[in-house]
Amino acid sequence: MEKCKYMMNDALETPEELFKLYEVLQSVTDSKGRPACFTANTIVANPDFERIKESNYKNYFYEPFTKTYLRTKETENSFAAFQEGMAQRLFQPQLHGREHVNISRWMRDLQNEVEETRLGFDYSMTGISAHITNTHRGSYQSALDGGVDELMYDPAAISAEGAQVFEKVFGFPSVSFIAPNYVWSKQVEEAMHKAGVKYLQGTTTQRLPSDFGEKRGLKRHYLGQKNRNGQYYLNRNASFEPTLDGRSNAVANCMKQIRRSFLWGKPAMISTHRVNYIDRLNIENGEKNRVLLRQLLSDITRRWPQVEFMTTDELGSLISES
């Protein structure tokens, strides 16, 4: 596990971790007096391990993430903390998918009694990273991946149901979507269009679904590009991932990327993941990274005093209406 930084550091967020993050976001304001903010791209469901086991691994079931929060005392109040961040305009949820699990690959390995997959299941866990596994297989985290040989469940239908769960939990539809691991198909785009999604988050490269071992197709996108459904592609062009990429140059590298974006007259869309702000598995992880985040936000507002902070849905609306 020590070879996977997610497995060593990531966990379901606690209220305390969220409030510590909110404090950092509130420590700076933009040219309009607004605090910094995160687009909280949200996975809205997790496997229901009990029901799957009761079916003898033959059938898949899921539960909303709000129910998962209630399974441990540390996280039983996390959704209330999430909502408080929303109320303060610090934390704006958008759809990341129903699960961050490729249930076709995962369920097949459970049914085939793959040892480490079953062992992870016994600990209510799916996220054994492909690069540290002893099993030759595709990624479990790439939820919408897979071709005709691997798929047992329809990624487009899963995504559409994820949009429904999102609206039920939050009380409003998500207008943007970002596919897990940047893998999605045109069928998923069409399903998201029907669900009201106007903006597709990602990078410059869309990874097309494929069976494990096949050569993967790629599609390039530019910021503001529209597809045949009228959806806009919003490309991340900066990264702040100190846990994954190292802390020593995390702030300086992100500042360079922001400066390059502004030089070309583009908004800076910064990628950062939950793993950077979790500290109950590794206390230094969250503590040190929040210090760096505070430094980054302070450097941004000092270097560009006219900067404006906004969430993905707000940026998408600005681009589509311009």
CA 44/CA 46 separation, integer angstroms = 7
Q: Return all residues near 322 (Cβ < 8 A) that are at least 6 apart.
A: none
Determine the pLDDT at residue 80.
98
Determine the pLDDT at residue 131.
85
Determine the pLDDT at residue 136.
87
Determine the pLDDT at residue 133.
85
Determine the pLDDT at residue 129.
85
Burial class (CB in 10 A: 0-12, 13-18, 19+), 22: buried
Determine the pLDDT at residue 73.
97
CA 119/CA 3 separation, integer angstroms = 18
CA 273/CA 242 separation, integer angstroms = 10
CA 248/CA 250 separation, integer angstroms = 6
Query: Consecutive sets of 10 residues in the chain, 322 residues long: mean pLDDT of each?
Result: 91 97 98 98 98 98 98 97 98 98 97 94 89 88 95 97 98 98 98 98 97 96 97 98 97 98 97 97 96 98 98 97 88
Tell me: the pLDDT tens digits for 212-271?
999 999 999 999 999 999 999 999 999 999 999 999 999 999 999 999 999 999 999 999
The number of beta carbons lying within 10 Å of the beta carbon of residue 272 is 22
